[in-house]
Structure 1
Amino acid sequence: MRPQETTDPAPDEGPPPLPRRALRHEVLLVLAVSLGASAVGALISFSGVLTRPGGLGEQTATLNASRAPDRPWLDLAWQLFGIATDLAPVLLVAHLLLRERAAGGYGGGGLRLLGFDARRPRSDLARGAVVAAGIGGSGLLLYLGAHAAGANLTVVPESLPDVWWKFPVLVASALENAVLEEVVVLGYLLRRLSQLGWTPTGALLASALLRGS
């Protein structure tokens, strides 16, 4: 009597990846609660500046403004609340990428898909410093040129009170902006646009447009 042939069961490949329509909706929702909403707000604010009497060069824009000038502890609470809520989209992106990994995505999980980890801290910090210097330097030169031509607002870096938490809050705010832009725009958005079939050039242009707004 011949023994019955047995076959190994097919490995569980997990659920299929999200269709393009779902990915498009996901991208729009992530942008709606992060830099996309900020870009729309910036355009509305700039429209108000353009319709205000006086030239652009005579008006100011404050990057880190006090929210309760005469009440430093309340001001600190508002500053920390703003930083924490601005980082919420980063946690949302990490959740979505972890879910993608569980569904059979490529590579590791979470923000590691974007190279956002601590496996190579020295080289990452060195390359990040070079990129930041290049982007920051070119942006500063562009601002100085536009301001000299009267085509830009006068940017006031901060108007916080002279208290002990002033510089820690400024550093935390700078880190928050850097993490938000690098994770959501340069990491998540480029990955999703690539999955949607965009060319690298088109994805970079869309990313640059969002960052510039």
Structure 2
Amino acid sequence: MKLSAEMRAFETRIGYRFQTPELLIRALTHPSMSSPSREDNQRLEFLGDRVLGLVMAETLLAEDETASEGQLAPRFNALVRKEACADVARQIELGEVLKLGRSEMLSGGRRKLALLGDAMEAVIAAVYLDGGFAPARDLILRLWGPRVAQVEEDARDPKTSLQEWAQARGLPPPKYLQVARSGPDHAPDFTIAAELITGEREEAKAGSKRLAEQAAAKALLARLTPPKA
């Protein structure tokens, strides 16, 4: 099977040329486009998630030989969670080559976090099946490289840090309040406020409640703990 010019350009962006093009096509086919003669990427997504996990676990162990399991776990989670996969997918413009059904396309599927994250995992699996573990590992380390370098900073959940800040001062945990919701049902935006019992409060907007809560907690922490001069 011959790949389109768009697919060839995508291969260039990820730095891997497929020997079996059908694997790449399947990795980029959303279930909304599946048919008896066209497989979707769900099974590949399942495999890719495991390959990504193994590579990240190996990498983190090699990067810090003294870290405990308790230190490694949050770093690992930060690197393999769906948001991280979706961020990498956006970086390589994966959404531009996703094969979506009409309804999914009209609902903004090319920008949806879950679809991008799933497809990124499927691409990893496709490379693994096409070339083996070494090319899949190389692909992951190439695309995730900067994130691995800064994972210690990013791994800590701002909500956890804010709660610990409050508890250290004898305060109850912060509250998270939904201030507003806007946008269509398929791509909503949530505005969430993080608030302490003492009155300090910050708001943030994001495409999911969880992300908005984290952003609000991060903003409030930044105000409560200004950088030292």
Give the TM-score taking structure 2 as reference length.
Answer: 0.27
**Structure with the higher strand share, 1 or 2:** 2
Give the TM-score taking structure 1 as reference length.
Answer: 0.29
Which of the pair has more CA radius of gyration? 1
